[in-house]
Amino acid sequence: MQFHKSFAPLATLFTTLLAAVTTPLPADEPAAPVTASAAQRFAAADVAEVPDFQKHIVPLLGKLGCNGRACHGSFQGRDGFRLSLFGYDFATDHDELYGRVDTETATQSLILQKGLMEIQHEGGQRLKPGSWEHLLMLRWVQAGAPPRVPDPPALLKLEVTPAEILFTATGQQQPLTAIAVWSNGVREDVTALCRFQTNDDQIADITQHGLVTAAEPGDTHVVAFYDSAVVPVPVIRPVTPQYGDKYPQVAAPTKIDELVVQKLRKIGVVQSETCTDAEFLRRASLDVTGTLPTPAEIREFLADQSPDKRARKIDQLLERPGYVAWWTTKICDITGNSDDKLNNVTPVQAEASKQWYEWVEKRVRENMPWDRIVEGIVMANSRNPGETYQQYCENVSKLYHKDGPGASGYAERQGLAHFWARQNFQTSEDRVIAFAYTFLGTRIQCAQCHKHPFDQWTQDDFKQFEGFFKATVGRQNARPDAKADYEKMLAELSGTEGLKGNDLRRVLAEQLAKGATVPLGEVYTTKVQARAAARNRPAPAAQRRGSGPAPATAKILAGPVVDLTAFADARQPLMDWLRSPENPLFAKAFVNRVWASYFNVGIVQPADDLNLANPPVNAPLLDYLAKGFIEHQFDMKWLHREILNSRTYQLSWIPNSTNRQDERNFSRAVPRRLPAEIAWDIMMQASLSTEKNSEFVTALDKRALSIPGSGLRQRNRNPADYALTVFGRSIRESNCDCDRSDEPSLLQTIFVQNDGQVLSMLDSQDGWLAETCKQNGLQFTRKSSDDAAAAQQARARTQLKTRFKEQLKKLEDQLAAAEQKQSARQIESLKTQIRKLRDQAIARGVIEADPQQDSQPADATAATAPAQLNTDTIITDAWLRTLSRLPTDAELQTARTWISESKDPVEGIRGVLWALLNTREFIVNH
């Protein structure tokens, strides 16, 4: 891995710190003895030891609930007494407490009297007289209530034993022991000072003392909290007798399978069988490309007997345009490509989202490594290196010209500057939150105001990390050194004098349409100055309106403090840290999201909530994939192949007796509702003619899959927008994965059953139904979806009938003239033309057939149904184009009966296709 040369000291320091936290002591150096628990040491009233404010007092307040969000840790505090939530601001907490202690008469201290309920306390009794908690607090007050010691030792880690709990029966119990390891070599039993929680009390409960009790079979975690440490402990109770040595031999051909089975062996869950070839082809095609396999592709794949055909098909799918389009859309979701938030970024409305999409699409198509894509986003400036402001304006203005390259030309720009220019990305606080969601898969917004309740991040961590984002300006202004150029270019354009905001953008858009070069705003960074040098110099106006001056230092999350003045761009050390192999979140965040897209749930779920109290369901699996992703230079296709080629991905959705309830340990495929874009696209694809259906695999111009932007304001600008809203397309408001919904709803069912757009698909002239009618000599008539459509069809029939009468009258007049001339050849020709015209009119429903006159029409296939309809072929084709499999004998018979009992074959065939679109099997991936 290559790093920016100026990052080398930072990388070394970060590695050293990480090693200090994770590396066990050498075997030949025995660990220091463990100091007894505070519960033992302060059990007597005459103890001489003075409790430590950070190690004992603050954790005890957390244990007692005093600094919880429902008590004095709330934003408002209680009764004028406010503590930092979960105890992270030691100085402020000490000041608050010191105002409620009486060092002369310790027992009269308000914090003791209220805790003991000697005087009224809204929070109830928190201390029992004579308890170790009471005596510890009393001893601290008696010692003068000393604050946190200067330059205190750092907590290196919290060792919780046992590291994993395996239960076999309800009611079994296991106590936890927690040892705090400090940087000065002290090791202390802090079990009594830890807060504990269970992530699922239906499987395991835990007391405030750390005693874990088994409940129902299953697996979960219990979590210990102390100081800045958060330690999860897996708790497993097998769900069947088939666990451990009793677990059956199962196939595990890949490392992924080995790690999945390793966990399943502990919980007694056996994987389902592998899926059928038809299921695999449909599943992989939808997951990778957002497209159904064509009937011809299905037949070819089922006929292929090669043992490596699934691996070869995966390689083929990863080279299709659908893969590029779908994973471009996914990355646009993650990074926040929202029309609503880009409204003011470019003079031409909605162009910014198209440019964003094209920029990402080009890099996905080229399989650019994920870290390099992210580098182009994180390090983005509007100008390319070496580009003057004038050149920048000329080059970007050309994108909007009539003969210019359009949005695709923006893809050639080095950076995705739009990322920094969004309306919801202007303050440094917003940038920290969105950046953490996007690239770290972490919800850090809690730490904006207080210590994160389930992670190690404090408000101080948030504020120090924020420093990386304060030197980037994303406003619609030119860089300060180009202000004069901006004003000059603006003055040279007619009609811009005195205009601002939307009025100015409108005029600039008009000028661009005429081929002019216009002045443009830009994203840029300012060099961070040393505080002493910058103290008397005001920050740039744009910066003052944003987040204030950039600090001279910033702190990597769980890492060192960085001197930003040593870097030309304050984002450089941030980017170097992201791609560092020691970064605990960057690779895991992307790996986890990709895994979640294939398995319905992430290894960490929710997929964008990587925090210490929400541990992976299979930590070795996540570690393996993240490590492999880094070792393969962040190659996205490597990651896709690694997952898709595993037996775990290719398991059947059909459960067995052991895994029927499992939806989190990957013992079977979990049927999942298709994402909005794919749901809409496959409804269209399934209803298209054979030729159009095949083109759908490579043609993306009319696909919902490749709609660039998203957002509320963009709805109803595209024919698919209403459907996408119904099916929960991401609105891209917050960079949270929750902006997309994959939940089924009644409205979705009603839409597929009755919406005019869906019914129009079935009756399209380019559709499968029309094609089938033509191939089988059936009279194709469109079925109206509502009264308006019926009226429109009636008007069309009236026009056709009028035109038919005019043409018929003309031919009959010509026939009469030919009969007078007794021209046999001309008479026969005109009679044939008249018969064909009548047959066409009958076929299109313009007139009804006359049994006597039309007993032997010239084109029998156009006027009547054939003597024998090839029903089984039609039914099979319908199944292949929707469910991607052959119908069962029972399904075949049911469809035959439906078609034969319908009032006409066309209505029956239409009903079969409509019914297939409305099956659960069609709208879910399985």
pLDDT tens profile 281-311? 999 999 999 999 999 999 999 999 999 999 9
Given pLDDT bands bounded at 50, 70 and 90, which one contains residue 498?
Answer: confident
pLDDT in tens, 465-486: 888 988 888 666 788 889 999 9
pLDDT for the residue numbered 719: 79
Name the residue among 34, 101, 40, 88 with its Cα closest to residue 61.
88
Residue 786 has pLDDT above 50, yes or no: no
Cis peptide before 234 (omega within 30 of 0): no
d(CA 866, CA 772): 13
pLDDT value, residue 740:
87
Angle, helices 871-882/676-687, rounded to nearest 10 degrees: 160
Q: What is the pLDDT of residue 450?
A: 62
Burial class, 720, CB count within 10 angstroms (exposed 0-12 / middle 13-18 / buried 19+): buried
pLDDT for 5 equals 40
Burial classification of residue 147, based on how many CB atoms lie within 10 Å of its CB (0-12 exposed, 13-18 middle, 19 or more buried): middle
Mean pLDDT across the stretch 424-430? 87
SS3 412: coil
- Give the whole-angstrom CA distance, residue 441 versus residue 381: 24
Confirm if 710 and 731 have CB atoms less than 8 A apart: yes
d(Cα 143, Cα 106) in Å, to the nearest integer?
A: 9
**Closest Cα partner for 496 from 506, 482, 484, 481?**
506
Query: Which pLDDT belongs to residue 2?
Result: 40
Side chain identity, residue 575: M
Average pLDDT over residues 174-178: 98
Query: Exposed e or buried b for every residue in 211-223, given b needs 16+ CB within 10 A?
Result: ebbbbebbbbbbb
Kindly indicate the confidence band of residue 563, based on its pLDDT and cuts at 50, 70 and 90: very high
Summarised one tens digit per residue, pLDDT across range 147-159 is: 988 889 999 999 9
* Mean pLDDT (the chain, rounded): 86
pLDDT digits over 311-327, tens only?
Answer: 999 999 999 999 999 99
How distant, in Å, are the alpha carbons of 220, 239, 242, 257, 618 from that of 659? 16, 9, 12, 16, 16
Q: What sign for the dihedral angle of Cα 711, 715, 720, 724?
A: positive
Relative to beta strand 218-226, strand 195-198 is: antiparallel
* pLDDT(627) > 90: yes
CATH fold of 162-237: Immunoglobulin-like (2.60.40)
Give dist(CA 926, CA 920) in Å, integer. 10
Q: Give the pair of three-digit tokens for residue 804.
A: 């038919």
Averaged over 798-803, what is the pLDDT? 66
**Residue 214 pLDDT > 90, yes or no?**
yes
Task: Determine the Cα–Cα distance for residues 721 and 727; give it in Å rounded to an integer.
Answer: 10
What is the C-alpha separation between 302 and 309, in angstroms, rounded? 10
More confident residue, 923 or 779: 923
pLDDT at 846 (0 to 100): 61
Q: What is the mean pLDDT of residues 813-841?
A: 77
Q: What is the pTM of this model?
A: 0.85
At residue 86, the pLDDT reads 72
User: Which pLDDT belongs to residue 793?
Assistant: 52
- Comparing 257-266, 372-381, 425-434, the range with the smallest average pLDDT is 425-434
